[in-house]
Amino acid sequence: MEDKIISKLKTLNEELNKKYFLLDSFSIPEKKKILNGFGVFENIEPMNKESLEKLRELGGVYGVDGSTNRYGGAFPHYIQIFRGLAIKDIKESKESVEVYCPLLEDIDIYEENKTLDKLLASVELEAAIEAASDNPAVIMMDGSLIRYRILNENKWEKLKNIAIEKNIYIVGVIEDIKTNIVYENIKEDYNSDFFYDREFLFNCLEYKEAYIPNEKDSGKDSYKIRSSFIRSSFEPAVIAVDMMEEQFSNIKDILSLVLSLTNRNSRGIPYILDLVDMKARLTNKKMKYLSESYITKGRFELLFHSQRDKRSM
């Protein structure tokens, strides 16, 4: 019964092996020689206790993330809640919320994903702006800064201007890396199939080793956002760390902070981002309770009750 699935997976595996043949053939020294052509390596150490205490006195670190969930049926008969949350510690947090229902919007299904992406970025930016009012030293956001610049330029510029005025460092931490800086620099010399930096840098750096690409005229750099990479745990994968161009001269201090907030036996993400991710989540149970509690029962049954929920087990 599963023979066709197995056959398709084997074919996929063969195609992936062909695609990454060149990449797999590079040794780590060969990769580092290539990387030296358009960037620098740095050995980073975690901040010491004195530096961390000084950072706390300067306002500490806020972690920012967003969450979204929906309740109801297929488009457009659903309610979706977007929540942006900024957390400094258990007692200090900032929150931004949007409730979205396509029935009240002039939108078709083909525009849906773009609208949802914008709303999530918007609540995260609002939470970050609220956090900035508390004058922290650093606002650390879960994901690339370029996403905010593209999806909501006005709110991004507002946050950016506040941060520059108040000397608050805005940092983006990226686990699922989508940049292709290495590929763009070597594609003509090696005639390589397309790959992401995530694949090239896998197991290439030592723990606490960072790679900082030179500034260029394309990609994130053209939006005045600079990227760096660091192996922040014993895991072979690297993470990316974004900063605004205006603040990038302090990248080594920020990378040091990232190491300080990251368990070396973890997957490499600062604990404050895992904490805010957990706190921001909207579970299916909570969505069901909130939706059914605050929407008129008859109206809810008419518009949002999914027929799938009535299927027998």
pLDDT, average across residues 164-175: 97
Can you tell me the distance from the alpha carbon of 217 to that of 188, in angstroms, rounded to the nearest whole number?
A: 18
The pair of three-digit structure tokens given for residue 130, joined into one six-digit string:
């609220």
Over residues 9-52, the pLDDT tens digits come to 999 999 999 999 999 999 999 999 999 999 999 999 999 999 99
| Contact partners, residue 174, CB within 8 Å, separation at least 6 | 143, 144, 239, 240, 241, 242
Residue of 8, 10, 13, 29 whose CA lies nearest to 205: 29
Residue of 257, 186, 261, 197 whose CA lies nearest to 229: 197
Over residues 129-141, the pLDDT tens digits come to 999 999 999 999 9
pLDDT band of residue 159 (cuts 50, 70, 90) is: very high
pLDDT band of residue 313 (cuts 50, 70, 90) is: very low
pLDDT band of residue 66 (cuts 50, 70, 90) is: very high
The pair of three-digit structure tokens given for residue 117, joined into one six-digit string:
């992406």
pLDDT number for residue 105: 86
The pair of three-digit structure tokens given for residue 300, joined into one six-digit string:
């809810």
